[in-house]
Amino acid sequence: MERSSIESIVRGLNEAGVRYLIVGGLAVVAHGYLRFTADLDLVLDMESENLLKGLAVLKALGYRPRAPVPIEDFADGSKRRSWTEEKNLKVFSLYSQQHQATEVDVFVEAPFDFSLAYPEALSQPVAEGVNALFVDYARLVELKRKAGRPRDLDDLSRLRALKGEGL
């Protein structure tokens, strides 16, 4: 993952007024446990105009879906529903020739109530004058617990140790 790519993405989302939260490995880093992550995991407010703005930002940065569909299809709720029901798709993966080291995974369904999570976001700088919005600690812990993969459980253990919490 390239820091300059994260800066470009976050700057673009912020300037376009996109409502988003960063989850996954970068959120773990934002909450204090430094570790490598290969992608940027995003949860977008699923309101249609917000999705279209977010997709336009990513498209302008050269991002294209890994799946053979137009990027704009993500804004169509019926298509997202079909992807989750028929293909069990959890994230919409995007890649860019301009940002080859930074894949973006956009959650097909928000894993929490976005309207409640957004006001509780952790704002952290990712570059001079560029702040990113990360999911709050409690929701991050819950996401990691629910995912249950070894990497997620390790993140959870380390985050809790940093906060002085027991398992």
In this predicted model, what pLDDT tens digit does every residue of 22-37 receive, in sequence order? 999 999 999 988 888 8
Contact 140, 23 (CB under 8 A): yes
Residue 16 is classified by DSSP as T
pLDDT at 167 over 70: no
What average pLDDT does the structure give for the chain?
A: 94
Contact 106, 94 (CB under 8 A): yes
Report the pLDDT value the prediction gives residue 99, as an integer from 0 to 100: 95
Task: Dump pLDDT digits (tens) for 64-102.
Answer: 999 999 999 999 999 999 999 999 999 999 999 999 999
User: Of 47, 49, 63, which Cα lies nearest the Cα of 9?
Assistant: 63
Report the pLDDT value the prediction gives residue 140, as an integer from 0 to 100: 96
**Residue environment code for 120-144, b if the CB has 16+ CB neighbours within 10 A, otherwise e:** ebbeeebeeeeebbbbbbebbbebb
More confident residue, 66 or 1: 66
Report the pLDDT value the prediction gives residue 126, as an integer from 0 to 100: 93
d(CA 63, CA 26): 19
Task: Dump pLDDT digits (tens) for 131-165.
Answer: 999 999 999 999 999 998 999 989 989 998 988 87
Domains of the chain, by residue range, sit at: 3-157
**In the CATH scheme, what is the code of domain 3-157?**
3.30.460.40
Report the pLDDT value the prediction gives residue 38, as an integer from 0 to 100: 84
In single-letter form, the type of residue at position 51 comes to L
Report the pLDDT value the prediction gives residue 46, as an integer from 0 to 100: 97
Residue 144 is classified by DSSP as H
Report the pLDDT value the prediction gives residue 35, as an integer from 0 to 100: 86
* pTM for the structure as a whole: 0.93
Report the pLDDT value the prediction gives residue 164, as an integer from 0 to 100: 84
d(CA 125, CA 133): 9
Task: Dump pLDDT digits (tens) for 36-58.
Answer: 888 999 999 999 999 999 999 99
Report the pLDDT value the prediction gives residue 166, as an integer from 0 to 100: 64
